[in-house]
Structure 1
Amino acid sequence: MSMLVRRSLSSSLASPSSISISKAIAAATLQKRGLATVSDKPFTITTPPPAPYAHNVTTKPPKAALKLKSGEVFHGTSFGANIPVSGEIVFTTSLVGYPESMTDPSYRGQILVFTQPLIGNYGVPGLFKDQYGLLKYFESDRIQCEAIVVNDYATRYSHWTAVESLGEWCARHGVPAITGVDTRAIVHILRDQGSTLSKLVIGDDAVNENFNKIPYTDPNTRNLVSEVSTAVPVSYNPYGDIKIAVIDCGVKHNILRSLVKRGAAVTVLPWNFDFNRISDQFDGIFISNGPGNPVKAMETVQHLRKAINTYKRPMFGICMGNLLMGMAAGLDVRKLRFGNRAHNVPALNLLNGKCQITSQNHGYALVDDKFPPSWRKFYVNVNDGSNEGIIHKTLPYKSVQFHPEAKGGPEDTEFLFDEFIDRIRSEKVQREGTKFFVPETIDQQTTRVA
């Protein structure tokens, strides 16, 4: 007997009463779980339910206009702060993680274009901290980019961590935002001619295309690292078994989390602090990511150059840290045509031949045509052939241009933190030996009361 025949017979043998009981039980179960049930009765909503997460759509947003220094103008509407700004316009192809990207200090001074069409649909979370005192959902305590450009801003958001809309967040931080523009056209221009400067104006200036009130501002002429670095030393997880100094060139909170959650005691130092004076207090040194032109951070390069010759303990750099480490080793830097800002960039490990997908955000790269005798290439970008990392041939120094900590993006290269921490612990054991805790024993006979 076929399955179809068996199902037909079982259906015909079922009594009407058993069917109605089954329906009643199923309906009651669904109602308990808060799920929708099917009904033959028409159901209409006379007034929509309150939606505290909904943007006030009754207020007509002001016009906004974006002008590239190359002459192209794009019109849209504003959903952020109503102030004009200027900066370097760049694009990211990341699909998720706009709160993390916008708070990444590496975007300082830049107008950020999202190629993902729909932005803002899951709102913005609150400033919650984890057990280490680090922000859970942001990479710093403020929006770092100058403005954002999106194709379609979601006026209604929904997420269990959200406390406000993207537009409200931008307005509160004084960051302009424009929606309704052809971001694909902008990316084509930047891809073909390279990154350029741009202006964003709001209101009547946008309608009249009046861009003369503000000049074109090139953030790469400023020392952006000094703007985002800590001014005083800050400690996290002070009771960790190994001590790491983090040279703060604009460090992301998830980088710090990647170190402290592996048991390290971390001390964040200002970008221009001469850590060589106290380097013997640390088991390892980490050089962080950061914004802008690395040539503006030559003080850090000088300190690293001295450390390369004298420190001998593990050092690891990420993004800006790779550029500064390379400059300290004797390499030059160059500005990329439009940079690498994405969550899906393939990087080839030249030591083992493995290709890993990485998260990236940088506009400069090391010139690695000729290498100093003691150094070699570590990673290379599969897409454009640019440098993605360097490693010392004999000493425990290495750095990568991409972001192993992601946030957002793939975690394929997070193992680099494990290698860094394991190397630090291994060398500390070799220096100091293994320390054991021996509990104090008390002779019971001596403690008896006569």
Structure 2
Amino acid sequence: MSASVHSPVVQPPEVRPAVPEPERKSPSRWKLLAIVVVVVLLGGLAYRQWVKRTPAPSAAVPAFRTVKAVQGVLQRTLRVSGQTSARNYASITIPLLRGPDSRDNLTLLTLAKSGSQVKKGDLILSVDTQTAQDHIDDVTDMVRQAHNDIEKRRAEQAIEWDQLQQSLRVAKADLDGWKLEAGAIELRTPIDKELIELQVEESAARYKQLQEDLASKKIAHAAELRILEITSERQERHLDRHVTDIKRLTIHAPMDGLAVMESIWRGQEMAQVQEGDLVTPGQRIMKIVDPTNMQIEGTVNQAEIGDLRVGAPAHIGVDAFPGAKFKGKVYSVGALATGSWRAGNYVRNVPVKVIIDGSDPRVIPDLSAWADVIVEQKDDATIVPLSAIHNEDGQSFVLVKSGVGFAKRPVKVGLTNATHAAITEGVNPGDEVRIN
């Protein structure tokens, strides 16, 4: 018998049907349309209210600038540009040395401070003179040696002179002896007579030659001494030059004033002179200036120089101090026009100096400055701007305000400058004129 085997029955899992989620309701079209309509209506109402409140633009009315004619002083000026300088000053330079080493560089040992006030007689500059002092010691020994050489040669000449005098005395005695022998010549043989006569002649010639040698030797001795004296004088002058040079290398202020240093090349740039710099004889080191008497050194174009006169008043300003104004006058006008290397020789300028009245501690040398020189002036003039004057068919006129408009009024123009004009006829002070 076969036994049947029953396997367990596996039930499939129960599948539950999915429950659909409820759909979200979207706003309907008529609601969106209603919202849009409401927004449009509100915008229209707001624009209508804004239009009602905004006033209508009025017709454009042209605007004109006007200015009133004034009565005053009108001046025509000429601008002189340049830099300030002192009228009274003393240039301090390294002295030109007279010694043989006069071209050597020198070292500044003492120097007054730039911008300091100095008094007459104050030490302002000195140079290191140690090398010159050592050389002076050597030259002093040379002078002493030259004096000794003179004394030595004089002693030698005295000995030589005594020897010559002794030789002359011996020759004279020899001549006198032979002359005595010749006095008794009758007792001599003919041969002795000839010998005695020859000896007399020879002694006389020797004596005469020694006399001539004595005179020439005297001249020779004097010449030798003069040569030695000239050598001594040359050395003394050499010494005197160095001593004088050392004294001149210490410089004192020749006047009261302000110390202004010059600029020199130091390396690759310009710098003011200072202690320790190497300088050469003849080099300018500083100026001692009188700050109470200043001037402007400038130039004027040759085409405008005809309007300039010595003594003409001027208004002066310094670029470093815009608010400072000074008065002055033209002091000098150059006789010759000069050229400029930057503009070429075809542009010629005339140098002009304008002195500054009074003194101000702010005005120091080498400041850029200007001077408006008054070349012509009209007092109690009726003044209007140049832009208010019009010309038509050779006639000048201005537009004077009259009520709501402007009236055309002929005028006569007098003195003018760069911005204003004096009206001699046609406009009264206080009249309002159009300037555009």
The two structures have a TM-score, normalised by structure 1, of 0.18
The two structures have a TM-score, normalised by structure 2, of 0.19
- Greater share of helix residues, 1 or 2? 2
- Greater share of strand residues, 1 or 2? 2
Pick 1 or 2: higher relative contact order, CA cutoff 8 A, min separation 6: 2
Larger Rg: 2
